[in-house]
Amino acid sequence: MKPHTTASKNKPRVMDVIQSELLEEHYPLVNTVVKSMLSYLPRCADFEELHSVGLTGLIAAVQKFDPEQSGTFKAYASLRIRGAILDELRRMDSLPRTRRAKVRELGKVVEELEQKLGRAPRDAEIADAMGLTLAELERYQQKARPVVLVSLDGAPGQDDDTDANLHESIPDQNSRPCYEDLEKSEYIDLMADMIAELPDRQKKVLAMYYYEGMRLAEIAEIFGVSEARICQIHTQALGILRRNIQRVK
């Protein structure tokens, strides 16, 4: 058995620093790619949402880049950013019409309240604006958003050997999820238990993003860190949930 040298112990830390620097250096690339795509996307396409999705593509690029296989990092990252955005657009297009309508209506109300209040609205305020009770709003949110929080693609940069990447929390309609034999209510309870065991910051980021409908940039402002850092925390949390779900078979 080989003794652990100081160099081998420090290697993961060095890689983290290199990846963080690469991420910060190429952060503006997300903006460039999204703007170039907006010219041929529907007018209703939301720049901020696409930017958040594109950022997950950049993180995947940073964590998976192999200079011997992929050429320049900028070209590779551009492809991953564009791919993440296109996957999200395909996901939205595959949603049933009624669910898409609910997504749009809920998003419109939240956006109007944000502008009026100058902050992310609380559930009670959203319910009041829509003429719903809190229980009705919860059912509405469940219909407007996918129940699945864990990407079936896999999480980039986690300690598994899969080459898949995480774009967002996107349920894959064409693949067989490992939890399909569980009743829906059992799955929701299971997810709630798993989320409760996450580190505090990861729990807060998931709650703000999925349940309060906040954008990654808004969450970053609250925590006083970069949007890229919040995206990393989000990705790490989903990676943990995904691995835990895979154990339940």
pLDDT-derived band at 97, boundaries 50, 70, 90: low
Residue written as tokens 């041929």?
40
pLDDT value of position 248: 62
171-212 per-position pLDDT tens digit? 443 444 444 444 555 666 677 778 888 888 888 888 887 777
Residue 33 has pLDDT above 80, yes or no: yes
Nearest to 142 by CA among 113, 99, 179: 99
Nearest to 237 by CA among 245, 227, 225, 249: 245
41-95 per-position pLDDT tens digit? 666 677 877 888 888 888 888 888 887 776 788 888 888 898 888 887 777 665 5
pLDDT value of position 43: 66
Which amino acid, 49?
Answer: E
Set out the domains of the chain in order of their start, with CATH numbers: 6-94+146-247 (1.10.1740.10), 95-145 (1.10.10.10)
C-alpha–C-alpha distance, residues 151 and 155, integer Å? 7
Taking residues 127-138, what's their average pLDDT?
A: 84
Token couple for 203: 């729990």
pLDDT value of position 102: 67
pLDDT value of position 124: 86
Instruction: Considering only residues 171 and 126, tell me which one the structure prediction assigns the higher pLDDT.
Output: 126
134-144 and 123-130 helices cross at what angle (nearest 10)? 90
Q: 26-40, 92-106, 184-198: lowest mean pLDDT where?
A: 92-106
- pTM for this structure? 0.45
Instruction: Considering only residues 241 and 33, tell me which one the structure prediction assigns the higher pLDDT.
Output: 33
Token couple for 56: 């997950």
150-165 per-position pLDDT tens digit? 333 333 333 333 333 3
Taking residues 8-28, what's their average pLDDT?
A: 69
pLDDT value of position 178: 42
Taking residues 111-128, what's their average pLDDT?
A: 81
Express as a percent the part of the chain with pLDDT over 90. 1
Nearest to 157 by CA among 10, 33, 27, 12: 12
pLDDT-derived band at 23, boundaries 50, 70, 90: confident
pLDDT value of position 196: 82
48 to each of 52, 85, 157, how far by Cα in Å?
A: 6, 12, 24
pLDDT value of position 93: 62
Cβ–Cβ under 8 Å, residues 228 and 235? no
